Structure 1
Amino acid sequence: MALSFAKLAFTPTVRAEQEKRGSAEGYAKFLSDERQGGDVLTMAEATFLLERDGFYMSTVSETGWPYVQFRGGPAGFIKLLDEKTIGFADLAGNRQYLSTGNMRVNPRVALIAVDYVNARRLKIWGTVRIIEAEDNPEAAEALRPDGSDARIERLFIIEIEAMSWNCPRHIPRRLTVEEFAGETLELRKEVERLKAALAQATSATA
């Protein structure tokens, strides 16, 4: 049984391209009977997702056009429902409903979550189920992001079909405002210490 992501992603056309470019042999191991799994959350994936404050989600419309949307919230807004299911609340927004409309006709989604500080990213393939908040207010409150009082319109429940940790190459290293503040705190303290020392030295020689 092959790794779940390889079964989904390595289509005949993709395999043909790998053959053409010389990478098919290297990737064949992901399709072998000795390799399996990749569709169940382990501690590594669970911790990674709980720490994220955003991810990118792709859907496809009935006309075949893909759409990518950034979904953000405080760390923990992605809820782990069980070892194969995650969910999050869809808060009131610009009312275009592009992702929601696409999901109505094609429930397949792809997610990429990135840790820019440590150059790590996780790809997720899944099947989404939509629950209107008014139909299940208790579930809506359970998936409410911490500290948010925004109106929840619906819930997106994603059954994980496959996951894959992606190559860290070319991921830019970035810090959030909060992370940057922590990194520079000691520098600011040192600047203040030097300013005080300079003021004291200047006063002594005046």
Structure 2
Amino acid sequence: MSRRFPELAFTPLVKAHQKQHNSRAQYQRMEESGPPDDSLGVSERTFIALRDSFYMASVGETGWPYVQHRGGEKGFVHVIDPKTIAFADLRGNKQYISVGNLEHDARVALFFMDYPNQTRLKILGRVEVHENDARALELLQALRPASPKDVAERVILIHVEAFDWNCPQHITPRYTIEELEPSLAPIRDRIKALEAENAALRGKLDAISPRRTGTAG
């Protein structure tokens, strides 16, 4: 936990609940011993580069929070520098709730999940949106996804204010097809070999078995 994270997240009411539930002393020690620099380190940058999705929370003009899922190929979220990450925002259902919220309040909370390893990275940051401006074209060309079917409408830069790693408790392991493939491939190969073996045995049995003849009486 970086020192900046508790400054932003541990409000007086949060601390009161921590004290009530006997966790305040533990988190106070973590606050005091955390790294003073809130720049993303090697672990955080590597973790982000390997993710194929994340969740982003924003707050609208009504005061209600909104959580949106963003996905793509691994590495679609780029670490520009230790304090900045960015991604090309693709055309979706055209509700533009997050985009409107960010114009109202640039603050976001991000969750990057690694379900198989039960790991979660939380990031608090401020957003800078580039669409139809002088820098948008340059950024879109640098961050545009490889697939021609994906239409990138804007680039969202997130200036990192703080981050924290969560404990693995209560994170249910889930696996993508890509992650399951190394385990599934040998099973498919074995099934294919058994099917071929069975077909060969059936052929041999048909060859040595006398043909049935007869008439119905």
TM over 0.5: yes
Q: Check whether the contact 1:116–1:174 (CA below 8 A) recurs between aligned residues.
A: yes
Residue 169 (structure 2) pairs with residue 169 (structure 1): yes
SS at match of 1:117: coil
- Residues of 1 paired with 2:48 and 2:34: CA distance? 24
Mapping of 1:88-103 within 5 angstroms?
A: 88-103=87-102
Task: Note closer, same or farther for the CA distance 1:93–1:196 as it changes in structure 2 (3 Å cut).
Answer: closer
Deviation at 1:12, TM superposition (A): 0.8
Output the amino acid matched with 2:88: A
Task: Provide the TM-score with structure 1 as the length reference.
Answer: 0.90
C-alpha displacement of 1:201: 4.7
Q: CA deviation at 1:134?
A: 4.8
How many correspondences in the alignment?
204
Give the counterpart letter for 1:166 in structure 2.
N
1:144 Cα deviation from its structure 2 partner: 0.9
Task: Tell me the residue number matched to 1:80.
Answer: 79
Q: CA deviation at 1:204?
A: 5.2
Q: Percent identity?
A: 43
Moved more, 15-24 or 175-184: 175-184
Give runs of aligned pairs for residues 64-75 of structure 1, distance below 5 A: 64-75=63-74
Is the Cα contact below 8 Å between 1:38 and 1:164 reproduced in 2?
no
Deviates more, 1:20-29 or 1:141-150: 141-150
Give 1 or 2 for the bigger CA radius of gyration: 2
Judged with a 3 Å threshold, the aligned counterparts in structure 2 of structure 1 residues 38 and 59 are, in CA distance, closer, same or farther, namely farther
Please report how far the alpha carbon of residue 194 of structure 1 lies from its aligned counterpart in structure 2 after TM superposition: 2.8
Deviations 1:112-138 (A, max 9, x none): 011112211111000111111453311
Distance of 2:146 and 2:41 partners within structure 1: 23
Cα distance, 1:61–1:45 mapped onto 2, change above 3 Å: same
* Structure 1 residues not aligned, in runs of 5+: none
SS at match of 1:135: coil
The 1:26–1:62 alpha-carbon spacing in structure 2 relative to 1, beyond 3 Å, is same
What displacement does 1:22 show?
Answer: 1.1
